[in-house]
Chains A and B, each alone.
Chain A
Amino acid sequence: KNEVEQSPQNLTAQEGEFITINCSYSVGISALHWLQQHPGGGIVSLFMLSSGKKKHGRLIATINIQEKHSSLHITASHPRDSAVYICAALISSGSARQLTFGSGTQLTVLP
Chain B
Amino acid sequence: EPEVTQTPSHQVTQMGQEVILRCVPISNHLYFYWYRQILGQKVEFLVSFYNNEISEKSEIFDDQFSVERPDGSNFTLKIRSTKLEDSAMYFCASSADIKGELFFGEGSRLTVL
Q: Decide whether A and B are members of one complex.
A: no
